Amino acid sequence: MKKSLLTVACALLCASLFVSCHRGPKSEIEGFTRTESGLHYRFDTQNAEGRQVAKGDLLIGEMLLRLENDTLFSNVGDPGNLLVVSDKSMFDGDLTEGLLLMHEGDKAVFAVDADKMAAQLQPNQMPASYKNGKGMKLYYEINLQSVKSAEEMKAAKKEFEKAMEAAQEEQAKALETYLTDNNITATPNEEGLYVIVSKKGNGPKVEVGRHISVDYTGYLLNGTIFDSSNKELAQQNGLEQHDALEFVVGQANLIKGWDDGLMGLAQGSKAKLIIPANLAYGAKGAGEMIPPYATLVFDVEILSVN
C-alpha cells in the first residue's frame, strides 16, 4: 500500500511539473499561454508519453498556416512531411521554440509575431494581407502524428536509394525481355527512345508549332494498359476513356518522349513508341499505375496535322 501511494504521489508531482513547465505569462490571445520570449501557444491535445521533438527532427502530420484569418497553407486531410526542426531560432519567440515543446500525438496552435517574421524576409515574401506594425500574428495549427530523427531519415534515404536502384535494374531486364519477346531489333536514339513505324502516312509531317490529333494507347512493359483513347480498351481495363489527344507540338505539357517520338511522323502514320523513364516520369513515376523508372510503350496513330 505504501509503495502504491508513493507511486501515485510521484505521478502527481510529475504531472504538476509538466503543467508548470508549460505555463508562462498570460497571453492577450484568449485561451493561449505566452513564453518569456513572446511565443503564444495553445495545446488542444497533449501526449506526454509520446516522443518529444528535438532539433533536426522531421515532423510528419497536418498543418494549417494562416496570417490572422488569411489561410496561407494547409495539408489538413492529407498528412505528410511538414518540416525539419531548425537547430537555431530565427528570432525570439519563433516557431522553433514551440515545436520543441511538442510530442508525437500533440495538437497545438502557435502564434508567431508577424513583424518579427517579416524582418527576416524580403518584402515580397510576406502575404499581401500583412500590415507592418499592426501586431498581426502568424498562426501555425499543427497535428503532429510522427517524428523522425536525422539518423532515421538518413537510414530511410539509403533504403529508398536501394529500392530505386532495384527498380532501375528490374526495368532494364523487363525491357530486354520485351524486345526479345516482340522481336524488336530497332535501334534506339541516344536517349534510349524507340520509334517503330508500322504504317507510313503520306500527309503533312509533325513539326513544332503544328496542331495535331493523336489516337493512342499507353501500357507498361508487362502489358498493363494505363491510358487509352480507344473506348473499348479503356472500358475493358476499367479506365476513364479519353478522346484522341489534341495539342500543339512543343507547347503541350507532355512527357518529352512524346514530342521526340512523334516528330517527323506524317499524318496517317502508325507507330510504337518505347519511351525510357528519363523521357517519361523518371524516379517519381505517375499516379498509382506508373511506378518509378517505368519504361512506357505507346501505340499511336497520327490522325491529323495542321
Catalytic residue from among 57, 94, 113, 227: 227
**111 DSSP β-pair partners:** 40, 139
- Can you tell me whether residue 67 is helix, strand or coil? strand
Helices (H), the chain: 2-21, 95-99, 114-119, 150-181, 231-236, 256-262
Catalytic residue from among 32, 140, 194, 216: 216
Catalytic residue from among 275, 298, 299, 302: 298
Catalytic residue from among 130, 139, 281, 293: 281
d(CA 172, CA 289): 18
Cβ pair 40, 33 in contact under 8 A: yes
d(CA 68, CA 138): 6
227 included as an active-site residue: yes
Q: Please tell me the total number of residues recorded for the chain in this structure.
A: 306
Tell me the three cell numbers of residue 148: 523522425
Cβ pair 200, 213 in contact under 8 A: no
**Cβ neighbours of residue 108 closer than 8 Å, sequence gap 6 or more:** 41, 42, 43, 44, 45, 98, 101, 102, 141, 142, 144
212 included as an active-site residue: no
Instruction: Cite the beta strand spans of the chain per DSSP E.
Output: 33-34, 40-45, 58-67, 70-74, 80-84, 107-113, 137-148, 194-199, 211-220, 225-228, 245-248, 270-275, 296-305
Cβ pair 155, 121 in contact under 8 A: no
247 included as an active-site residue: no
91 included as an active-site residue: no
18 included as an active-site residue: no
290 included as an active-site residue: no
Catalytic residue from among 142, 212, 255, 274: 255
Amino acid identity for residue 157 in this structure: K
Cβ pair 297, 221 in contact under 8 A: yes
Residues taking part in catalysis = 216, 226-227, 255, 281, 298
